[in-house]
């Protein structure tokens, strides 16, 4: 069975997760707004990480709604102090989720855990409820000016995660996976970020590589010197990164 490749206890994990939020939250807000998430909805976020989407959903659904925040590591979520938020420490691969939600949401989680996580998320939706997934497809990820070291780092990082069960091309599969899971009215779209090296937007890249540095060097995919050089280039303002595609797909459970 697949597992999550990152160490949730790593010293800079909170900042790494904040880097994900900085890149993607505004687009996720726009998507969920467009899908009608509003006052009174019962929501669950699976793999809620550092919790910025939980806090946003909490404000969106207000006191008549609720947000259940699930993660296998809840140390950052426990800091959220909102009366309509419940935090559940749970491994979605081990146990069924609570049920009856109008929104079931997961970002950058199912790409690590695969179909068993997706099936549990679909089961958590109320009849007629929305399931919304956002996951990467790394095909578009690139750098300018062209840099062969970037491609080697990309292969080393995604290759390491793949050995734990990650799918670097899950983004393009979400649409068919949601239909195969029995959802109706399935739709999908994608967005990407174009970002400058050395800015807050590239913190996620730098910290993800730093977090995986030891196992990647131990595997022989890159030397320590190559990792240092890649980290230096990530901080170079002359470099432009095209992010992976963030593919968003959603569908409704049959009423």
> Residues in the site for ligand SAM, rule: CB under 6 A?
4, 8, 17, 20-21, 47-49, 70-73, 91-93, 107-109, 112-113
Q: Could you tell me how far CA 195 lies from the centroid of its own chain?
A: 18
Closest approach, Cβ 45 to ligand SAM, in A, equals 7
Beta bridge partners of 240: 144, 196
Contact 45/53 with Cβ under 8 angstroms? yes
Which residue number places its CB atom closest to ligand SAM? Answer: 49
Distances 163 to 56, 118, 174, 235 between C-alpha atoms, Å: 34, 20, 20, 28
Question: Would you say 41 or 204 has its CB closer to ligand SAM?
Answer: 204
Question: Would you say 6 or 140 has its CB closer to ligand SAM?
Answer: 6
Question: Would you say 93 or 181 has its CB closer to ligand SAM?
Answer: 93
Question: Would you say 46 or 230 has its CB closer to ligand SAM?
Answer: 46
Beta bridge partners of 88: 70
Closest approach, Cβ 145 to ligand SAM, in A, equals 29
Question: Would you say 32 or 92 has its CB closer to ligand SAM?
Answer: 92
Closest approach, Cβ 189 to ligand SAM, in A, equals 17
The token pair at 115 is 């179909």
Beta bridge partners of 241: 143, 195
Contact 216/163 with Cβ under 8 angstroms? no
Closest approach, Cβ 60 to ligand SAM, in A, equals 16
Question: Left (φ > 0), alpha (ψ -120 to 50) or beta: where does 153 sit?
Answer: alpha
Closest approach, Cβ 255 to ligand SAM, in A, equals 28
Q: Could you tell me how far CA 245 lies from the centroid of its own chain?
A: 12
Q: Give Cβ neighbours of residue 90 (< 8 Å, ≥ 6 apart).
A: 70, 71, 72, 97
Q: Could you tell me how far CA 215 lies from the centroid of its own chain?
A: 21
Closest approach, Cβ 49 to ligand SAM, in A, equals 3
Question: Would you say 21 or 142 has its CB closer to ligand SAM?
Answer: 21
| Rounded-to-10 torsion of CA 69, 70, 76, 78 | 60
Closest approach, Cβ 201 to ligand SAM, in A, equals 14
Question: Would you say 97 or 216 has its CB closer to ligand SAM?
Answer: 97
Contact 75/87 with Cβ under 8 angstroms? no
């Amino acid at each position: 069975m697949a597992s999550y490749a990152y160490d949730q206890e790593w010293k800079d994990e909170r900042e790494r997760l904040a880097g994900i939020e900085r890149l993607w939250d505004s687009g996720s807000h726009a998507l969920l707004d467009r899908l009608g998430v509003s006052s009174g909805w019962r929501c669950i976020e699976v793999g809620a990480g550092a919790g910025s989407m939980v806090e946003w959903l909490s404000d969106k659904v207000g006191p008549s709604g609720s947000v259940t925040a699930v993660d296998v590591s809840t140390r950052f979520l426990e800091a959220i102090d909102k009366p309509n938020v419940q935090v559940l420490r749970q491994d979605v691969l081990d146990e069924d989720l609570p049920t009856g939600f109008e929104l079931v949401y997961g970002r950058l989680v199912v790409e690590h855990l695969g179909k068993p996580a997706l099936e549990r998320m679909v089961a958590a939706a109320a009849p007629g409820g929305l399931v919304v997934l956002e996951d990467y497809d790394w095909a578009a990820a690139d750098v300018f000016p062209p840099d062969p070291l970037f491609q080697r780092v990309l292969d080393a990082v995604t290759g390491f995660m793949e050995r734990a069960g990650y799918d670097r091309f899950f983004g393009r599969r979400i649409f068919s996976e949601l239909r195969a899971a029995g959802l109706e009215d399935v739709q999908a779209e994608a967005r990407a970020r174009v970002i400058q090296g050395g800015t807050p937007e590239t913190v996620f890249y730098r910290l993800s590589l730093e977090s995986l540095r030891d196992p990647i060097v131990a595997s022989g995919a890159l030397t320590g010197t190559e990792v240092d050089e890649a980290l230096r280039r990530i901080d170079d303002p002359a470099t432009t990164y095209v992010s992976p595609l963030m593919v968003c797909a959603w569908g409704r459970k049959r009423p």
